[in-house]
Amino acid sequence: MNRTFLEFEKPIVELERKIDDLKLLQQEGIADLGDEIAGLEKKLKKLQDDIYGSLTRWQRVQLARHPARPYFLDYVRYITENFLEIHGDGCFRDDPAIICGLARIKGKSVVLIGQEKGRTTKEKIKRNFGMAHPEGYRKALKVARLAARFGKPLVCLVDTTGAYPGIGAEERGQAQAIAVNIKEFAHLPTPIIVVITGEGGSGGALGIGVGDVIAIMQYAYYSVISPEGCASILWRDASKAPEAAEALKVTAQDLIELGVVDKVIPEPSGGAHRNPNEAASILRDFILGEIDRLSGIPVEELVKKRIEKFQGMGVVKRDI
């Protein structure tokens, strides 16, 4: 059981502890608590349904950022066999915020790309909290082209607050790197599966976020700007982020309604962090299913449909 939890998770965690305590007593044969445990478990189920059934958008953003949420490397460990990391953009340096590699999933060859936030403090600093520099996007393009050249499916797992806003990032063309990726990913002749697993932070997400199918995990979010950023620009007050999250419509269900994502991948009860292995297993099955489906479509048609899909996004009024 992980020890970090969000404010609204507290009642659930407390009740779970109580049940665990009773179970311990039961095991030791101190008292027969079977009925009581069953009652509490029923109560727990209802509490979970109540809390998770009525999450605000802001609470969902917090779940997407949950410190115990599985990250890219957790998924890689669980999902893949023989992962070989491919480093470097071949030009400037290896950006540890984006990890790329060759992998096998149930024997199928895939090329993987994803942002990694880092679990420990040391890792977080090394990985720059999953905020990539231009060389990270250029590395991603390098392996994406490799995938296309050999007809291997490409899987992009998106989890970033955003592309890094720093001096070096600007000097080396952060905007150009992202722009080029968006354009190139749109016509790479191989199936591309994009899953937003945690945070879909604006251009930083889109830089590895163009593909044939765009999926989002149940408690992940995707936004043009962070709720804090939006609140501080519009209302000069970052603490109004919960309102901004509502206004920006950033949740999985919102994105389906807006036609921006194709599929929502369900998470284990209470979120991916409550059962990372189950989350990973659901994700793996989704990826395998999509590889099968997309591999059946001729690649020219795939690319044509991919471009048309993005061409159709947006809402405008047309006067007659």
Partner 1 sequence: MFFRRKKPKLEAKKEIPDGLWIKCNSCGEILYRKELAKKLWICEKCGYHFKIDSRRYVSILTDEFNELFSEFSPVNSLGFRDYEEKLEKDYKKTGLKDAIICGEAEIGNHNVVLSCMDFFFRGGSMGSVVGEKVKLSILHAMNRKIPLIVVCASGGARMQEGILSLMQMAKTSATLNLLADARIPYISILTNPTTAGVMASYASLGDIVIAEPGALIGFAGPRVIRDTVREELPPGFQTSEFLLEHGMLDAVVPRDRLKETLIGILDFFKS
For residues 71 and 130, give the distance between their C-alpha atoms in angstroms, rounded to a whole number.
10
Whichever of 23 and 124 has its CB closer to partner 1, that residue is: 124
3-state secondary structure of 123: helix
| 112: β partners | 101, 155
Cβ nearer to partner 1, comparing 258 with 297:
258
| Rounded Cα distance, 262 and 76, in Å | 23
Between residues 80 and 226, which has the closer beta carbon with respect to partner 1?
A: 226
Q: How far is the CB of 311 from partner 1 (least distance, A)?
A: 6
Residues making contact with partner 1 (CB under 8 A): 163-167, 169-176, 178-180, 182-183, 186-187, 202-203, 206-207, 209-210, 222-225, 229-230, 233-234, 247-250, 254-255, 258, 260, 306-307, 310-311, 313-320
The least distance separating partner 1 from the CB of residue 57, rounded to whole angstroms, comes to 11
Q: For residue 118, is it left (φ>0), alpha (ψ between -120 and 50) or beta?
A: left
Q: Which two tokens stand for residue 127?
A: 């990985």
Residue 193 or 280 having the CB closest to partner 1: 193
CB of 262 to partner 1, least distance (A): 13
Q: How far is the CB of 180 from partner 1 (least distance, A)?
A: 7
Bridge partners for 111 per DSSP: 102, 154
Closest to partner 1 by CB, 12 vs 213, is: 213
Query: Would you say the C-alpha torsion 297, 301, 303, 306 has a positive or negative sign?
Result: negative
Q: What angle do the packed helices 276-295 and 72-79 form, to 10 degrees?
A: 70
- Four-residue CA torsion sign, 195, 201, 202, 206: negative
Compute the least distance from the CB of residue 138 to partner 1, in Å: 13
What is the smallest separation between the CB atom of 6 and partner 1, expressed in angstroms?
A: 24
Instruction: For residue 102, give the 3-state DSSP assignment.
Output: strand
Smaller CB separation from partner 1, 243 or 278: 243
Spell out the residues 6+ positions from residue 245 whose beta carbon is closer than 8 angstroms to its own: 56, 57, 58, 60, 61, 221, 223, 227
